[in-house]
């Protein structure tokens, strides 16, 4: 399982995660800067949010941070790419405006596939 599955993340490993309020969402401190940057660049990202429960919204915002963090890594495994794509699908179902993130993940897949093609 990848990072978005809840395994191997600091959230899943520690019962005491320091939370911060960012743009009305409760996020782990480690994601606060990422989320603030996203809202600064894309202020309407949550305008179509279809989720009502605050705790569920927080979960989606944490997924957003995880996917963004993963896109900043230079290399990805196929499992990580699939994990990011699953996260994108969930975020879109929740109504978040993330076309820009979907493009980043698609580019990551293209780069992975090109590298795999060169290997063969």
Q: What is the pLDDT of residues 12-33, one digit of tens each?
A: 555 688 999 999 999 999 999 9
Measured CA angle at 116 (ends 115, 118), to 5 deg: 65
* Contact by Cβ (8 Å): 94, 51: yes
For the chain, percent of residues with pLDDT exceeding 90? 76
Which pTM value belongs to this model?
0.84
**pLDDT band at residue 54 using 50, 70 and 90 as cut-offs:** very high
pLDDT value of position 59: 96
Q: What angle do CA 52, 56, 57 make, to 5 degrees?
A: 70
**What whole-number distance in Å separates Cα of residue 55 and Cα of residue 60?**
9
Q: What is the pLDDT of residue 10?
A: 46
């Amino acid at each position: 399982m990848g990072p978005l599955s809840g395994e191997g993340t600091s959230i899943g490993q520690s019962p005491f995660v320091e939370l911060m309020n960012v743009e009305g969402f409760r996020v782990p401190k480690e994601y606060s800067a990422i989320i603030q940057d996203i809202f600064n660049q894309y202020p309407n990202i949550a305008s179509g949010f279809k989720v009502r429960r605050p705790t569920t919204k927080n979960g989606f915002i944490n997924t957003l941070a995880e996917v963004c963090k993963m896109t900043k890594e230079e290399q990805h495994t196929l499992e990580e790419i699939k994990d990011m794509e699953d996260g994108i699908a969930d975020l879109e179902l929740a109504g978040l405006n993330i076309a820009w993130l979907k493009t980043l993940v698609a580019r990551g897949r293209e780069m992975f596939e090109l590298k795999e093609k060169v290997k063969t």
